[in-house]
Amino acid sequence: MIYEKQAGVPRFECTEYEGRRKDYVVLIPIINEGERIRAELQRAKDHKVSECADIVICDGGSTDGCTEDELLKSLEVNTLLTKRDEGKQGAQFRMGIWWALKRGYKGIITIDGNNKDSIEDVPKFIEKLEEGYDLIQGSRFIKGGHAENTPVTRWLAVKLIHAPVISLTAHQRFTDTTNAYRGYSKKYLEDERVKPLRDIFVTYELLAYLSVRATQLGMKACEVPVSRVYPRNEKTPTKISFFKGNSNLLKILFRNARGKYNP
């Protein structure tokens, strides 16, 4: 099924393998993640993640075969959403959020699709959503979390720049603010003072914005321990280029701190 472009939502194709089975959904944005997303979905299957949440792929237009229908169905993916429009990760998230809210989920968990994160920890996010939290940030830097082979430049950027700025903007301390492993309540995403479905969120703006808006509005937020393991002696799996990508992240960070993304 094709959903035509509308305000704040890109044009996309929806391939449903099953209807809604659970109250919560895991949205995984990918583009050409190859063996990495296959391995991540296999981990999810091994740990029975689909027994507590529906798994949905938010594809940016992969051409490497990693979104082949029979493969995804065998790995217990519920639905494949494929963006057929402009935009990068922000557009993929907007596509997934709009669709998930329309489908009636009580909360959304997001996680990268490059097999760095502990997808088996999804139940921790659901537990906090059930407790009434509106934003749940996964963190490798709190008690119970685990970080392995983190590039030194990434570690320094998070610890010395990104986390302090996000924490000041949010009026609450967070420790792993570049991590897209998050949980969001329906209440948070549908609040008229939030409005995540806007075309200004193209790349990483939405992640930065949703990191701070909940606590600015007096909603409940917390962190849960997760693992993030970078491959040893391999190229770091990322879509962020060292110079241009990191420069853009800093621009987004400080625009966010000035409230530029608020409705």
* pLDDT for the residue 163: 95
Give the pLDDT confidence score for residue 238 in this predicted structure: 53
pLDDT confidence band for 154 (50 / 70 / 90): confident
Residue 59 dihedral angles phi and psi, to the nearest 5°: -90, 140
Instruction: Compute the chain's Rg from CA coordinates.
Output: 17
Burial of 239 (0-12, 13-18, 19+ CB in 10 A): middle
What mean pLDDT is predicted for residues 145-156?
92
- Residue 122 phi/psi, 5-degree rounding, is -50, -40
- Enumerate domains of the chain plus CATH numbers: 2-257 (3.90.550.10)
Sorted by sequence, the CB contacts under 8 Å of residue 18 that are 6+ apart come out as: 54, 78, 79
β partners of residue 57: 28, 80
Q: What is the pLDDT of residue 76?
A: 98
Which whole number is the average pLDDT over 162-171?
Answer: 96
CA dist 224 and 195 (Å) reads 25
Residue-level pLDDT at 175: 97
DSSP designation for 5:
P
| Per-residue pLDDT, 236 | 52
Q: How many CA atoms lie within 13 A of 187 on its CB side?
A: 12
Cα–Cα separations (whole angstroms), residue 157 to 151, 152, 176, 249: 10, 9, 10, 11
CA 144, CA 125: separation in Å to the nearest integer? 14
3-37 tens-digit pLDDT: 999 999 999 999 999 999 999 999 999 999 999 99
**What does pTM read for this prediction?**
0.94
Dump pLDDT digits (tens) for 194-253: 999 999 999 999 999 999 999 999 999 999 999 999 988 665 545 444 445 467 889 999
Percent over 70 (pLDDT), the chain: 95
- Looking at residue 243, its pLDDT comes to 43
- The single-letter DSSP state of residue 160 is I
Average pLDDT of the segment spanning 80-95: 97
